[in-house]
Structure 1
Amino acid sequence: MTQPATTSVGSLPVSRRVMNLAHFLTQAARRFPDHPALVWGERQWSWQALETRVTALAAALAAQGLGKGDRILVHARNGNEIIETMFAAFRLGAVWVPTNFRLVPEEVAWLARASGARAFLCQSVFPDHAAAVAAALPGIFLASLGEAGFGTTTHAGLIAAGAGLPCPTATVERDDPCWFFFTSGTTGRPKAAVLTHGQMGFVVTNHLCDLMPGTTEADASLVVAPLSHGAGIHFLAQVARGARSVLLPGERFDVAEAWRLVEAHRVSNMFTVPTILTMLVEHPAAAQVDHSSLRHVIYAGAPMYREDQKRALARLGKVIVQYFGLGEVTGNITVLPAALHTLEDGPAARPGSCGFARTGMEIQIQDEAGEELPPGTQGEICVSGPAVFAGYHDNPEANAKAFRHGWFRTGDLGHMDAEGFLFITGRASDMYISGGSNVYPREVEEVILQHPAIAEVAVVGVPDRQWGEAGVAVLVPRGEAPGEAEMLAWLAARVARYKLPRRVVFWEALPRSGYGKITKKLVREEMAARGILPLDPA
């Protein structure tokens, strides 16, 4: 067996070998072989059953010539199959490359080329995606997850072929890649953030330390987001402690069913995003089921508005936990624990804060030259620590922009107070300049959400003939919408004139990304499609 590389500190050799992430599953199977690992509708798998299936799948993929460093592209909805592909890739020392299942075939084909995939495991309900990837990469190993008319074999066929074959877990080092975590691509093409075994071992430990302390095999987690991204990392933390995960049975997010599963399985934790958490809180079922088992309802992916926070606290109690992080830092930048979420406004509530630095991580607010700014001064949020990714795959230009003096530049704007609590102003790309003054949409959005008739809001900056740029506020009403003039008059009494949107429009819903986020890019696209843009036709 090849020995891992070593470095030296003085006269002491230092090995860079780390635990392969697949060992989390092996440990759970050894300690809790008969405990439920995964529940999906009427089906259930124990830890030992899941371990056996993953071993067989990995052995069959190895027989196809796949091994350490090879990229395995996976396009699938949540289910046991996507989980099994994850651990099989890890076991081989290969790189798991999951997609957002909502992507169109051409987008998945681009990801296949960008990642250099050698295998494509595609759910049977996506034949057009399989065809697009096969055309983009002739000769790629193609298998279907479920019975389909494409591919050389199926997921079940691979497991049957590998049953009983040995498949030792690959030796890995800290910087060996395990996961290409594609960014959402809100500007330009998605980039593949390279996550490594050593980095992810730290992230899982930190999730358990800062987000879900006390998690054990007695716990249950409800999966309400795609396992291809943040929910997959949350799932890894459950595996590390032998806690079972419960999947929603349908393809669409069913709020009533989610609450039924919380009660039926005594769910103690879940990972979600603010928009989905708000849907859960405002559904009538939230007042009808027993959700007293919940201890950690974790939300991330976007800041949560203060008014939505207070409604969640009033309904669920002090169980909500916020964290801030990007895919490049694997969600590992800040935490605002349940104990620091308060219903009462005031200094102790720190409204707008996403918390303090996660254990082992450091945050700085920096100016354009990379110099640290004092407390209360706005700048770019930069971060360093073991959770920071290894860089973007095959993208030196993006890497040069993303790192400065060893700090990862998030592209988010914010400030810290004297105690180290972080406040996010917004994306640098979301800021617009109106009449020479910087306007940060989130600040205006927070005020708008104080209006009792408004449920959701997105403020975007658009070109304006007079002011250079001006804001347009897109609002979702709770019932009957107030008039535009009435809304602008209400807002004019609460924000400076230069921050006042030029227009207010009302929609039934805001567009969301495949991960449930409201992005300004999608809002602008929808505005253009509805004929709202440009405001001043030439």
Structure 2
Amino acid sequence: MHLAHFVYRSARCHPDRPLWITPDITISYEEGLRRINSIAHYLLAKGQQRDRVAIISTNRFEAFEVYLGAQAAGMTPTPLNPKLHADEISFMVSDSGAKFFVFSPEFTEIVQTLRSRHPEVEHWVCMDDATEFTCYGDLLQADGLTAPNVLIEPDDVAWLFYTSGTTGKPKGVIETHRNLISAVEQLRLGLLRDANETDRMIHFAPIAHASATLGLVYLSVAGAQVFPGLSRFDPPLVLESIQRFKATASFMAPTMVQMLLQVPEIEKYDLSSVKDILCSGAPMYAEVLRRAIEVFGPVFCQGYGQSEAPAQCGMHKSEYDLSSSVKLKRLASIGREYPAVLMRIVDESDNEAGPNVAGEITVRGNIVTPGYWNRKEATDEVLRNGWLHTGDIGYRDEEGYIFITDRVKDMIISGGSNIYPREVEEVLLEHPAIAEACVIGVPDEVWGEAVKAVVVLDARATATEDEIIEFCRERLASYKKPKSVEFVDDLPKSAYGKVLKKDVKSRYWQSVSRSI
């Protein structure tokens, strides 16, 4: 069984139900399946099974369509974050060995520079028919009445998701068909218990990652996928889109929820269609969740996962009760492990900790990645003794609810995006005026965490905050650049000369109850 089977089954059972909905068109499951089959046949005519298909796009149904077409062909879609810098995209294309590169027109200028760097990419496909590249319409010309005759194994790579690495080089996380089918099963059992063919899941978060994973749940029950055509997350337009399309479900990072709560006269929008909003990707502060439930009603579920294991545990919307002091405490929890997932809290020796004792969260089950693409050393670091070591610190209470308190590593989560300080620090140290640099996450009311650079200048040099931020913006994706810079005479260090990052961070988090 493979992921594209979700669409095949739904098209058989509910051929006339809408699959893709946009402001301009609606495509049924029956028609959508023909399109997906056509894409799969096209890819196989130009390449071969297990080729990688890189995809970068704004939130368009065509991108999801290519994911499914590539999977139906036994190939590996490789979604790329649209926020990335051209150099970061170039690295991922090279590392993955992509043979196809499919993109929406907004990325034409970047692709023109990439094409000269990557002769190994044989096919450049633009989601526009007026282009110097292969036209998207060409992918839809093949016979779509039958599926390709390819054997796809459960442990074949279904998606290759790139995540930033602590060494500054992104890592390709392998997610197999087994991994993602298991994730869908666990989400159905744990959080989205009443998902069905009448649902309309609306995409606001980039489908290059978690929003697409949630979309698979609704594909499995013949629910519709709504793409409202927004160029960015504009809170009033988001609320208007929910009302217009009568959306029933969505994936949102906590930052998005917080932004919606700041919309004046939010009560004027009809949001009564919403049944489920799954929040994940960053800490959901208890106060924000409480306010969100008051405004939207009991529609919020919290999920916990990561690229290496996308569905580990969660909190169903029914478990929140603002009138109960006992259940009120659960606002800060990420919930309990899903039925087919094993989670342990362990100490530094991998011994399991008792109730309310903090340790590293580890996990095992069919949701766990087999490893990183071409990164054996990194794989061995996180997969130890049969368990995935998540890098998150937390504890489990007597009822099995898990609470995250900190991270083993220093990753910053800003607006749902993962930012690794080492990557930013390496760029900072390229600046001729900077002698030392320490990058940390500091509290931010909107983004959860903001990137802050604490730097020591060379004794003979000068630099301004704006100059350093601009220096980073030119070399990194914009969301990774520091939002502020502090100049210090020295950085606290251990006896071995290692910067004590926790000491640097501590004064910024003194007034915050949750140091994550």
Is TM > 0.5 for Structure 1 vs Structure 2? yes
Equivalent residue number for residue 37 of structure 1 = 19
Normalized against structure 2, the TM-score is what?
A: 0.80
Aligned mate of 1:406, from 370, 377, 386: 386
Is 2:399 the counterpart of 1:419? yes
Alpha carbons 2:344, 2:361 under 8 Å: kept = yes
Structure showing greater relative contact order (alpha-carbon pairs closer than 8 Å, 6 or more residues apart): 2
Q: Does residue 1:118 correspond to 2:99, yes or no?
A: yes
Secondary structure of the residue aligned to 1:215 is coil
2:185 partner amino acid: T
Aligned residue identity for 1:144: C
Distance 1:236 1:96 in 2: 14
Equivalent of residue 38 in structure 2, options 44, 56, 64:
56
Runs of at least 5 residues in structure 2 that lack an aligned partner in the other structure:
414-418, 426-437, 448-477, 493-516
- Residues 176-234 of structure 1: CA distance to partner in whole angstroms, max 9, x if unpaired? 11100111457622211101111211111222221211111111111111111000011
Is 2:371–2:379's contact at 8 Å kept on the other side of the alignment? Answer: yes
Given the alignment of the two structures, is residue 146 of structure 1 paired with residue 125 of structure 2, yes or no? no
Distance 1:149 1:304, change over 3 A: same
Question: Residues of 2 paired with 1:81 and 1:206: CA distance?
Answer: 27
Amino acid at match of 2:484: M
Selected match of 1:158 from 139, 162, 185: 139
Q: Deviations over 1:337-383 (max 9, x none)?
A: 11222325733322521111112111111111211111111111111
Give 1:310's aligned residue.
290
- Measure how far apart 1:292 and its partner are: 2.0
Change (3 A) 1:168 1:382: same
* Kept in 2: contact 1:108–1:129 (CA 8 A): no
Q: Is the 8 A contact 1:143 1:150 kept in 2?
A: no
- The residue matched to 2:335 in structure 1 has which SS? strand
- The question of whether the paired residues in 1 share the 8 Å contact of 2:178 and 2:367 is answered with no
Equivalent pair of 2:347/2:359 in contact (CA under 8 Å) = yes
The DSSP-based 3-state class of the residue aligned with 2:403 is strand
CA contact (8 A) 1:256 1:285 kept: no
Do the aligned residues in 1 keep the contact of 2:97 with 2:120 (CA within 8 Å)? no
Q: Does 1:333 align with 2:312?
A: yes
Give distance in 1, aligned partners of 2:121 and 2:19: 32
Q: After TM superposition, list the pairs within 5 Å mapping 1:45-444 onto structure 2.
A: 45-64=27-46, 66-141=47-122, 142-147=124-129, 149-151=131-133, 153-160=134-141, 162-163=142-143, 166-168=146-148, 170-185=150-165, 188-284=168-264, 286-330=266-310, 332-344=311-323, 346-350=325-329, 351-430=331-410
What is the alpha-carbon distance in structure 2 between the residues aligned to residue 165 and residue 45 of structure 1?
16
**CA shift at 1:105, angstroms?**
1.8
| Superposed CA offset, 1:97-155 (max 9, x none) | 0100121222111101111111111222212332343233314222222146443x111
The Cα shift of 1:293 comes to: 2.2
Per-residue CA distance 1:230-258 (angstroms, 9 max, x = gap): 00011111111011121122211222222
Higher mean displacement: 86-95 or 245-254: 245-254
Q: How many residues align?
A: 446
1:448 matched to which residue of 2? none
Structure 2 Cα separation of the partners of residues 537 and 400 of structure 1: 32
Q: Which residue of 1 aligns with 2:488?
A: 534
Counterpart amino acid of 1:534? V
- Structure 1 unmatched ranges of 5 or more: 1-18, 432-440, 443-457, 463-468, 479-518
Describe how 1:474-493 pairs up with structure 2 within 5 A: 474-476=443-445
Distance 1:185 1:24 in 2: 32
CA distance in 2 between partners of 1:199 and 1:471 (Å): 32
| 3-state SS of paired residue (2:483) | helix
The change in CA–CA distance for 1:56 and 1:37 in structure 2 (over 3 A counts) is: same
Q: Contact between 1:217 and 1:242, CA under 8 Å: does it hold in 2?
A: yes
Aligned to 1:23: 5
Q: What is the CA-CA distance between 1:262 and the residue it aligns to?
A: 2.1
2:135 maps to a residue whose letter is T
What are the Cα deviations for residues 485-522 of structure 1, in whole angstroms up to 9, with x where unaligned?
xxxxxxxxxxxxxxxxxxxxxxxxxxxxxxxxxx9x94
1:346 partner amino acid: S
Query: Partners in 1 of 2:440 and 2:54 — Cα distance?
Result: 40
**CA shift digits 1:428-477 (9 cap, x unpaired):** 1249xxxxxxxxx99xxxxxxxxxxxxxxx9x9x9xxxxxx999955559
| DSSP 3-state at the match of 1:135 | helix
CA distance 1:475–1:155, shift in 2 (3 Å):
closer
Structure 2 contact 161–209 (Cα < 8 Å) conserved: yes
Matched residues in 1 for 2:191 and 2:261: separation? 20
Paired residues of 2:33 and 2:144 also in contact (CA < 8 A): no
How big is the shift at 1:297? Answer: 1.2
CA distance in 2, matches of 1:242, 1:119: 29
Change (3 A) 1:62 1:136: same
CA distance in structure 2 between the partners assigned to 1:477 and 1:181 by the alignment? 26
Deviation at 1:534, TM superposition (A): 3.4
Q: How big is the shift at 1:84?
A: 1.4
Work out the CA distance in 2 between the residues paired with 1:46 and 1:533.
57
Q: How much does 1:270 deviate?
A: 1.0
Deviation sequence 1:311-337 (CA, Å, 0-9, x none): 10110121110011111101x111111
Q: Secondary structure at the match of 1:257?
A: helix
Would the aligned equivalents of 2:410 and 2:440 in 1 still touch at CA under 8 Å?
Answer: no
Is this contact kept in 2: 1:333–1:357, CA < 8 A? Answer: yes
Summarize deviations over 1:392-422 as a string: whole Å, max 9, x none: 1100010111011101000111111122111
Does the residue aligned with 2:484 lie in a helix, a strand or coil?
A: helix
Output the CA distance in 2 between the equivalents of 1:239 and 1:232. Answer: 10
Larger deviation, residues 43-52 vs 168-177: 168-177
CA RMSD of superposed structures (Å): 3.2
